């Protein structure tokens, strides 16, 4: 259920009493979304958008932690890790 | 009612210089004639058309005649990267070109809606002229009808293309063979997404431009370097997936795509993600699929990449014998799935 | 961090799949609740890459599929009224009612418009004061915050020509129904990450305790899916019964509290019929009585609705994880995405449509 797509909030403003914002879905695709449920969200934050509403603020810390964990767990991860350091 | 201002009163002669299409423009009388002489003839100027007869008399080079007709309806009439006029010329030029033929002439039938601004018509006709010039084809016969307001979406254009196919050249969906590779001449889905954005109904903005373009020069470049091109087809409505399904069924072969090689612009990809679309099903108006024997693939690819509209050409898949009539996709993860035709209209989804 | 490509990394997915293969020792049946996950699993072919011990069964989490036939017939009747602009998410247009779908209502002259967001429907109401604008408010918990905001906004704007036809359902009661069924086969759950993004997961411990099934909150990208499966397999193999949050970047225990608060202001719990399954107690949300003025069911009297479901369709059993699309005698024959007999063949989230489209 529920196509939720990550996007970056690039602007926050009010419209007809509702907190709204412009969300960048990548590659220059923008759409207005309602930010009423993420009162603390600021431009630069990533969020999951579902039917024009921001559902949350994505946690970069958690995302990186998940990826690190999976890399570690992955036997390939050990080989990949040095590359990452170089980058 | 006691004050009647007569200062502006004039004898009610019919207006000769309407700024918009009125029913009289379709009457076949003087107004129709005016429309032709003021708008169509100056733009499409060529002897066959200017002769003013009911049909065009054309001399044809040797070879077989290829005819193709296409009706064009699009809303909005103008969109980033193109308009209905450009589309009407390119669409039909491309349909003739993918038969392996050299397109030479077009006819154009216009259905105009009462109230259409003449300026709009002028712009569309000018755009047709530019596309025809670029493609090197002449618009040699035309027709105009006017329908009452509300009975057409501004303007519909139907074009027929005439081309010549050299003896010995056979290009057909039924000729796809095991061992062919599938080349796509550039990024998928640009036209569909550009038009959808221009409609504004779904409220998104994107920098994507329609890829609408005449492909006859590009196709000629490919045909010049290989005699082993078996299929050429432009993946318009229904996108690459639907067109390849048609070919797979026509030829009784299997086409396997490599997901990692599918060319999609970031803006098209992100719009598709947002709306729940798959770019494989989104329309193109300036792309061609080339199925060519593997041995000639590199040559054809190089020839395509040297053309204006083929810079981003890539191999996206290959043809095998079985399962017949199927299009498969090797995913980025090593699994394989079926790629079906588009079922019905593509709609944004929530799930 | 773009939150997309990172989670489609084929090498990482391969690594997690390898871990799953190393961990699994015997057959397990797990259900992905959410149809969006079904779609992703089949689209990326993740089911093919799993060891044979793991069977994924597809849950009822497709709002389009479970919207009861009666409500669809009501929508069709309202949409056919000349005074109405009927607005809907695109998914609903092809869903067959007893006799027709919204597309055919549109072809017969009804004004049916697809909207991306329910706030777009509110805008249509503002722009068309001489028309009644009705929005088909379907969905699970994920969609509820948007749908209730549309009602609240219409109220704040004092719109008299906007109403919603509600068919809202919730995940935990459906899980109760599935797990409580004597024929249940599900041993572990992949929870629907976006539902949890809104609701958190404080509602799930009672389910865990009562039925002793492990659950992993799971996202939608390939890496999320294999991670959710891996966490579930690990718990099953170790005999642990826990909830693991495998979608931590998007989900917290409490969920989105402003959204939950707004849902509670506008909606209240009610019994709801699920298409193909039947009435599940307290499984739905409907408008609170103070929002009667925005309730399309109250505003439009469309008479008695007599529904007629295809006798061949086994969508209900498929959505309970009892059967798979292939088990249906009509699959791919009388029933296809062009001529669907049941909603699971219509929605791209529906298990039947996913199987058909991706050739399972």
More confident residue, B117 or C60: B117
Q: Does C68 touch chain B (CB under 8 A)?
A: no
Q: For residues B56 and B49, is the Cβ–Cβ distance under 8 A?
A: yes
Chains touching C, CB cut-off 8 Å, 3+ pairs: A, B
Are A29 and B350 in contact (CB < 8 Å)? no
Q: Which residue of A has its CA nearest to C115?
A: A51
Whole-number pLDDT of residue C283 = 96
pLDDT in tens, C146-160: 999 999 999 999 999
B298 and B256, same structural domain? Answer: yes
Whole-number pLDDT of residue A82 = 36
Closest CB to A17: pick one of C139, C156, C256.
C156
B178 and B327, same structural domain? Answer: yes
Confidence bin at C75 (pLDDT 50/70/90): very high
Closest CB to B343: pick one of C10, C338, C358.
C338
Whole-number pLDDT of residue C229 = 98
CA C12 to chain centre: 28
Whole-number pLDDT of residue C303 = 84
* CB-based burial label for B185 (10 Å; 0-12, 13-18, 19+): buried
B160 and B208, same structural domain? Answer: no
The CATH number linked to B103 is 3.30.1330.10
In chain B, residues with a C-beta closer than 8 Å to the C-beta of C347 are 349, 351
What is the helix (H) or strand (E) element at residue C228, kind and residue range? helix C222-238
Q: How many domains does chain B have?
A: 2
B205 and B160, same structural domain? Answer: no
Q: For residues C96 and C352, is the Cβ–Cβ distance under 8 A?
A: no
Question: Does residue B285 belong to any structural domain of this protein?
Answer: yes
B227 and B83, same structural domain? Answer: no
Question: Does residue B296 belong to any structural domain of this protein?
Answer: yes
Give the pairing of strands C111-114 and C84-88: parallel
B179 and B156, same structural domain? Answer: no
Confidence bin at C337 (pLDDT 50/70/90): confident
In chain B, residues with a C-beta closer than 8 Å to the C-beta of C8 are 332
B246 and B141, same structural domain? Answer: no
Q: Which residue of C has its CA nearest to A78?
A: C15
Closest CB to C116: pick one of A6, A51, A75.
A51
In chain A, residues with a C-beta closer than 8 Å to the C-beta of C159 are none
Q: Does A76 touch chain B (CB under 8 A)?
A: no
Question: Does residue B17 belong to any structural domain of this protein?
Answer: no
Mean pLDDT of chain C: 93
DSSP designation for C169: E
Q: Which residue of B has its CA nearest to A50?
A: B350
Q: For residues B21 and B121, is the Cβ–Cβ distance under 8 A?
A: yes
What is the distance between the alpha carbons of residues C234 and C356, in angstroms, rounded to a whole number? 31
Beta bridge partners of B144: B110
Beta bridge partners of B68: B161
Distance from the Cα of C4 to chain B's closest Cα (Å) equals 10
Q: Which residue of A has its CA nearest to C58?
A: A1
Name the stretches of chain B with pLDDT < 70.
Answer: 1-17
Are B350 and A3 in contact (CB < 8 Å)? yes
Q: For residues C19 and C229, is the Cβ–Cβ distance under 8 A?
A: no
Q: Which residue of C has its CA nearest to A52?
A: C117
Count of residues in chain A: 87
Closest CB to B203: pick one of C90, C116, C338.
C116
Question: Does residue B14 belong to any structural domain of this protein?
Answer: no
In chain C, residues with a C-beta closer than 8 Å to the C-beta of B333 are 10, 13-14, 44-46, 49, 222
Question: Does residue B60 belong to any structural domain of this protein?
Answer: yes
B157 and B206, same structural domain? Answer: no
Are B350 and A28 in contact (CB < 8 Å)? no
B165, B191, B214 - which closes a domain:
B165
Residue B76: cis peptide before it, omega within 30 degrees of 0: yes
Percentage of the residues of chain A whose pLDDT score is greater than 70: 83
Domains of chain A: residue spans and CATH: 1-56 (2.30.30.140), 59-87 (no CATH)
What is the distance between the alpha carbons of residues C193 and C248, in angstroms, rounded to a whole number? 9
B165, B181, B200 - which closes a domain:
B165
Chain B, residues 22-81, CB within 8 A of chain A, namely: none
Which residues does A43 contact at the CB level (< 8 Å), separation at least 6?
Answer: A9, A10, A11, A12, A21
Q: At CA B277, angle to CA C47 and CA C339, rounded to 5?
A: 75
Give the pairing of strands A5-15 and A18-24: antiparallel
B298 and B202, same structural domain? Answer: yes
Q: Which residue of C has its CA nearest to B335?
A: C45
B295 and B262, same structural domain? Answer: yes
More confident residue, A73 or C88: C88
Q: Does A35 touch chain B (CB under 8 A)?
A: no
Domain assignment of residue B248, given as a range: 173-338
- Spatial CA neighbour of A5 closest among A42, A43, A58, A80: A58
Chain C, residues 68-107, CB within 8 A of chain A, namely: 89
Question: Does residue B5 belong to any structural domain of this protein?
Answer: no
In chain A, residues with a C-beta closer than 8 Å to the C-beta of C124 are none
Is the predicted pLDDT of residue C344 greater than 90, yes or no? no
B147 and B106, same structural domain? Answer: yes
Whole-number pLDDT of residue B9 = 57
The CATH number linked to B314 is 3.90.650.10
What is the distance between the alpha carbons of residues B87 and A85, in angstroms, rounded to a whole number? 50
- Spatial CA neighbour of C343 closest among C309, C292, C297: C309
**DSSP strands (E only) in C3-109:** 28-34, 54-61, 84-88
Q: Where are the domains positioned within chain C?
A: 1-309, 315-357
Q: Does A34 touch chain B (CB under 8 A)?
A: no
Q: Does A26 touch chain B (CB under 8 A)?
A: yes
In chain C, residues with a C-beta closer than 8 Å to the C-beta of A76 are 11-12, 14-15
In chain C, residues with a C-beta closer than 8 Å to the C-beta of B345 are 93, 103
Are C145 and A6 in contact (CB < 8 Å)? no
The 3-state secondary structure of chain B, one letter per residue: CCCCCCCCCCCCCCCCCCCECCHHHHCCCHHHHHHHHHHHHHHHCCHHHHCCCCCCCCCCCCCEEEEEEEEECCCCCEECCEEHHHHHHHHHHHHHHCCCCEEEEEEEEEEEECCCEHHHHHHHHHHHHHHHHHHCCEEEEEEEEEECCCCCCCEEEEEEEEEEECCCCCCCHHHCCCCEEEEECCCCCHHHHHHHHHHCCCCEECCCCCCCCCCHHHHHHHHHHCCCEEEEECCCCCHHHHHHHHHHHHHCCEEEEEHHHCCCCHHHHHHHHHHCCCHHHCCCCCCCEEEEEHHHHHHHHHHHHCCCCCCCCEEEEEEECCCCCCEEEECCCCCEEECCCCCCCCCCCCC
Q: Does C127 touch chain B (CB under 8 A)?
A: no
The dihedral through the CA atoms of C165, C171, C176, C179 has a sign that is positive
What is the distance between the alpha carbons of residues C284 and B114, in angstroms, rounded to a whole number? 51
CA B162 to chain centre: 15
What is the distance between the alpha carbons of residues B327 and B180, in angstroms, rounded to a whole number? 14
pLDDT in tens, A69-84: 888 876 544 444 333 3
pLDDT in tens, C117-140: 999 999 999 999 999 999 999 999
Is the predicted pLDDT of residue C172 greater than 70, yes or no? yes
Q: Which of B200, B268, B270 to mutate to test the interface with A (most CBs of A within 10 A)?
A: B270
In chain A, residues with a C-beta closer than 8 Å to the C-beta of C16 are 70, 73-74
Whole-number pLDDT of residue C343 = 75
Is the predicted pLDDT of residue C251 greater than 60, yes or no? yes
B211 and B75, same structural domain? Answer: no
Is the predicted pLDDT of residue A87 greater than 50, yes or no? no
Are A53 and C116 in contact (CB < 8 Å)? no
Question: Does residue B7 belong to any structural domain of this protein?
Answer: no
Q: At what angle do helices B216-225 and B297-305 cross, to 10 degrees?
A: 150
Which residues does B45 contact at the CB level (< 8 Å), separation at least 6?
Answer: none
B165, B198, B224 - which closes a domain:
B165
Q: Does domain C1-309 have CATH number 1.10.10.10?
A: no
Give the pairing of strands C243-245 and C215-218: parallel
Q: Does C61 touch chain A (CB under 8 A)?
A: yes
Six token digits for residue B182? 């599938």
Whole-number pLDDT of residue B79 = 96
In chain C, residues with a C-beta closer than 8 Å to the C-beta of B332 are 8, 10, 44
**DSSP strands (E only) in chain A:** 5-15, 18-24, 30-34, 46-50, 53-54
């Amino acid at each position: 259920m529920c196509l939720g797509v990550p996007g970056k909030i690039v602007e926050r403003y009010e419209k007809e009493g509702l907190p709204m914002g412009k969300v960048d879905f990548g590659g220059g695709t923008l759409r207005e979304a309602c930010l009423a449920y993420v009162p603390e969200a600021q431009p630069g934050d990533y969020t999951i958008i579902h039917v024009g509403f921001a559902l949350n603020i994505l946690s970069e810390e958690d995302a990186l932690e998940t990826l690190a964990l999976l890399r570690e767990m992955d036997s390939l991860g050990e080989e990949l890790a040095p590359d990452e350091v170089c980058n | 009612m006691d004050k009647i201002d007569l200062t502006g009163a004039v004898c009610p002669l019919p207006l000769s210089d309407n700024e918009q299409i009125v029913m009289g423009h379709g009457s076949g009388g003087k107004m129709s004639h005016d429309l032709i002489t003021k708008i169509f003839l100056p733009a499409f100027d060529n002897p066959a058309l200017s002769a003013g007869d009911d049909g065009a008399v054309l001399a044809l080079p040797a070879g077989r005649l290829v005819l193709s007709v296409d009706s064009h309806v699009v809303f909005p009439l103008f969109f980033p990267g193109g308009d209905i006029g450009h589309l009407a010329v390119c669409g039909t030029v491309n349909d003739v070109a993918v038969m392996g033929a050299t397109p030479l002439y077009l006819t154009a039938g216009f259905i105009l809606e009462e109230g259409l601004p003449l300026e709009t018509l002028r712009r569309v006709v000018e755009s047709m002229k530019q596309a025809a010039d670029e493609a090197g084809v002449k618009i040699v016969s035309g027709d105009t009808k006017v329908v009452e307001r509300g009975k057409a979406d501004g303007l519909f254009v139907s074009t027929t293309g005439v081309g010549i196919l050299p003896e010995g050249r056979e290009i057909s969906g039924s000729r796809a063979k095991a061992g062919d590779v599938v080349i796509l001449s550039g990024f998928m889905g640009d036209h569909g997404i550009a038009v959808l954005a221009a409609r504004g109904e779904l409220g998104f903005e994107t920098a994507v431009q329609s890829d609408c373009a005449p492909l006859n020069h590009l196709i000629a470049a490919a045909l010049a370097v290989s005699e082993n091109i078996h299929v050429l087809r432009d993946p318009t409505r229904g996108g690459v997936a639907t067109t390849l399904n048609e070919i797979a069924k026509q030829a009784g072969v299997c086409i396997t795509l490599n997901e990692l090689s599918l060319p999609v612009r970031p803006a098209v990809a992100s719009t598709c993600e947002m709306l729940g679309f798959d770019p494989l099903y989104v329309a193109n108006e300036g792309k061609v699929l080339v199925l060519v024997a593997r041995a000639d693939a590199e040559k054809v690819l190089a020839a395509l990449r040297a053309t204006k509209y083929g810079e981003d050409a890539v191999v996206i898949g290959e043809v095998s014998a079985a399962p017949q009539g199927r299009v498969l996709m090797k995913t980025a993860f090593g699994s394989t799935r079926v790629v079906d035709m588009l079922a019905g209209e593509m709609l944004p989804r929530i799930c | 961090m773009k939150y997309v490509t990172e989670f489609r990394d084929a090498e990482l997915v391969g690594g997690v799949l390898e871990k799953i293969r190393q961990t699994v020792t015997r057959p397990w049946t797990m259900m992905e609740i959410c149809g969006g996950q079904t779609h992703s699993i089949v689209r990326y072919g993740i089911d093919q890459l799993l060891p044979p011990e793991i069977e994924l069964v597809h849950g009822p989490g497709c709002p389009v599929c479970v919207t009861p036939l009666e409500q669809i017939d009501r929508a069709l009747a309202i949409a056919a009224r000349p005074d109405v602009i009927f607005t809907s998410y695109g998914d609903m247009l092809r869903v067959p009612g007893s006799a027709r779908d919204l597309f055919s209502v549109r072809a017969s002259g009804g004004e049916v418009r697809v909207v991306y967001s329910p706030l777009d429907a509110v805008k249509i109401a503002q722009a068309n004061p001489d028309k009644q604008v009705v929005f088909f408010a379907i969905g699970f918990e994920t969609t509820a915050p948007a749908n209730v905001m549309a009602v609240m906004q219409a109220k704040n704007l004092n719109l008299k020509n906007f109403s919603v036809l509600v068919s809202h359902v919730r995940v935990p009661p459906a899980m109760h129904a599935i797990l409580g069924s004597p024929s249940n086969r599900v041993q572990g759950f992949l929870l629907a990450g976006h539902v949890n993004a809104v609701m958190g997961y404080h509602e799930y411990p009672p389910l865990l305790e009562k039925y002793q099934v492990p659950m992993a909150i799971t996202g939608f990208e390939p890496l999320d899916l294999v991670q959710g499966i891996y966490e579930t397999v690990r718990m099953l193999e170790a005999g642990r019964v826990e909830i693991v949050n495998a979608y931590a970047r998007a989900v917290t225990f409490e969920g989105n509290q402003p959204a939950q608060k707004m849902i509670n202001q506008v909606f209240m719990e009610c019994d709801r019929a699920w298409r193909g399954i039947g009435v599940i107690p307290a499984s739905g949300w409907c408008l609170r009585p103070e929002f009667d003025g925005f309730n399309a069911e109250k505003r439009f009297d469309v008479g008695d609705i007599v529904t007629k479901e295809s006798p061949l369709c086994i969508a209900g059993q498929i959505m309970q994880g009892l059967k798979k699309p292939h088990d249906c005698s009509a699959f791919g024959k009388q029933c296809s995405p062009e001529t669907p007999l049941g909603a699971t063949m219509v929605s791209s989230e529906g298990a039947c449509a996913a199987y058909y489209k991706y050739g399972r």
